[in-house]
Amino acid sequence: MAEPTIRNTPLRRRVKTGAALSLALAAGALALAPSAANAETTGDDCVYNIVREELTCADTPEEALAASSVGLQADTVLVRMYGDTNYGTSSGTHTLTVPGAYTCSSAYTPVEFTITRMGSFTNKASSVRTYNSCDVKLFDNDSATGTSSTWIDALANLDTAAGGWANRTSSYQLS
């Protein structure tokens, strides 16, 4: 018995048309995705994607995360700094993400990420929380130099860290 074949039948044309339409829609979605050049940068809550080097801001941390997501794969949050103590968001947030899944190593060396530009959040962090096994080291200078904090996992009041780190962070490292 011969294998059934589908030549130029209405069903085959619909399959081809559906595939072409899906491809066109996917290309259109990519064309509409925000890029570093046109990402929204107004609002007190900002997300910086280290791989795409893209800063996206909005009125809430959740809106900023949603606006920064591109494609089907969700971004992974590695650190969030808060403008208020006790992880309060009324004075804004700064969140660092990477595309896809990521877990920091358990060692502090080598450093996995160095963030040297914090934009409008420079010297505003009052509390910090890390995720996915990451720890953060805060620096006075914007080039990850100068005085630094110890490695921090989560701290509800950066003034309680040795040296007092509230409203002092200009750059940071993750490991």
pLDDT tens per residue across span 81-135: 999 999 999 999 999 999 989 999 988 999 999 999 788 899 999 999 999 999 9
Q: Coil, strand, or helix at residue 166?
A: coil
Helix (H) or strand (E) holding 67: helix 61-68
- Single pTM value for the model: 0.74
Residue 16 has pLDDT above 50, yes or no: no
Q: What percent of the chain has pLDDT over 90?
A: 58
What is the C-alpha to C-alpha distance for residues 24 and 22, in angstroms, rounded to an integer? 5
Mean pLDDT of the chain: 79
Tokens at residue 145, please? 């130099």
Q: Which domains does the chain have, with CATH numbers?
A: 76-174 (2.60.20.10)
Residue 34 above 70 pLDDT? no
